[in-house]
Amino acid sequence: MAELGPKGSGEAPEIPSRILEWLDSNPADPRGLMEALHELTGLPVVLVAPWGEVLAWAGRVPARHPTQAGWGGGYWAQEVGEGRFIAYGEAPALQRALPWLELAARLLRLRARERALERAQEENLGAAFLDELLLGEADLDRGFAFGFERGFSLRLALIEAPAPPGRHRLAEARRREILQGLKTSVGAYLERLGTPHLLSGRGTRAVVLWQSHDPAKEAQSLLWAAPQGVRVGLSAAHPSLEAVGTAYREALIALKAARPGEVMGFEQLDPVAWVLLQQSPEDLRALVERFLPLPARALRTLEVYLEHGGEPNPTAQALHIHPNTLRYRLSAIEKTLGASLRSPETLARVYLALRARGLLEER
């Protein structure tokens, strides 16, 4: 291992030269920097993407890596724009190497910003084409210029970050900042994936269209690549760019059903949710107020009753009450609703209202 810092009255001349060699040769590939740092410090070092992929390493690094920046038991970690840079070792060795680790972190952040600017220039053309596709005004043959080929399925995802409250200028600036950060992190993942893609933004939502090979894994990785608290709505698979408008509507419906930190695919939605999610929150609330003017205990009784197919004994067992108590509750519910629970029409209204209530609670 090379000596760190001052060495008598001189310094180790090979230290900056190795890093300069990396900068001059291929700074887009972080492996050279990791190797130089490992040779310089003797510490195992690794660069991990937000979605968990190891981008580069040198030395014997563990299989699992810390998810938070800072000092920990046997490691030092820093966020570097499009990943997390981690060095492993005992505290004294990490302290001695800290100036070079911090320099490496600054270089990685600088490279991440440069790459984000390069990617933004490339994505502007793609964003314009994606917007044309969504409006139904695009020349579909232009898809070949972006790498899209016939015979591969396409998916569209909407990735939404929590929006800051308010309509003032600072809130709007914050929304733009959130969207840019979202596009940067998602763009880095798609670039690494190496699949043809288009990326645009609307509000605090990133709109992503890509040529899909493993949609479940890709969508989950998009979620991991994005900042915490985002939610993802994923369309069904489509065979061509002609269906981008349909894919967008599917992703929007799926997004409405997704919780923060969750991916929801359009194909996962059942028909009832599909219909209800196309209604406004005000309409759903009106449906609940009209058909479920009931206290919490009565609502819970109804939910369990429907879950057990209207069978009294299993329902009573699930609620841990006597069957006679259940009959009394159901009779009281019927009086409040002014309708019999043996009526298919009443059951249908109640079921829809219960589902609408559940969707409102999830939003």
Residues 6+ apart with CB under 8 A from 136: 245
* Closest-CA residue to 50 (of 244, 193, 185): 185
pLDDT at 171 over 80: no
Helix residue ranges, H only, the chain: 14-25, 31-41, 91-135, 169-193, 215-225, 244-257, 271-276, 281-291, 296-307, 312-319, 323-337, 344-362
pLDDT at 5 over 60: no
Instruction: Please state which of the ranges 9-23, 115-129, 248-262, 275-289 shows the lowest mean pLDDT.
Output: 9-23
Q: Pick the more confident residue, 4 or 161.
A: 161
Percent of the chain exceeding pLDDT 70 equals 91
Strands 231-234 and 263-265: parallel
| Entry pTM | 0.58
Q: Which domains does the chain have, with CATH numbers?
A: 6-110 (3.30.450.40), 139-269 (3.30.70.270), 281-362 (1.10.10.2840)
Burial of 187 (0-12, 13-18, 19+ CB in 10 A): buried
> For 62-102, what is each residue's pLDDT tens digit?
999 998 899 999 999 999 987 899 999 999 999 999 999 99
pLDDT at 271: 73
> For 109-151, what is each residue's pLDDT tens digit?
988 888 777 777 777 778 889 999 998 888 999 899 888 888 8
pLDDT at 346 over 90: no
Average pLDDT, the chain: 84
Distance CA 348, CA 352 (A): 6
Radius of gyration of the chain (CA): 28
- Supply the DSSP string of 218-278, one letter for each residue: HHHHHHHHSPTT-EEEEPPPBSSGGGHHHHHHHHHHHHHHPPTT-EEEGGGS-HHHHHHTT
Distance CA 355, CA 302 (A): 12
Distance CA 129, CA 88 (A): 45
Per-residue pLDDT, averaged over 170-195, amounts to 78
pLDDT at 330: 93
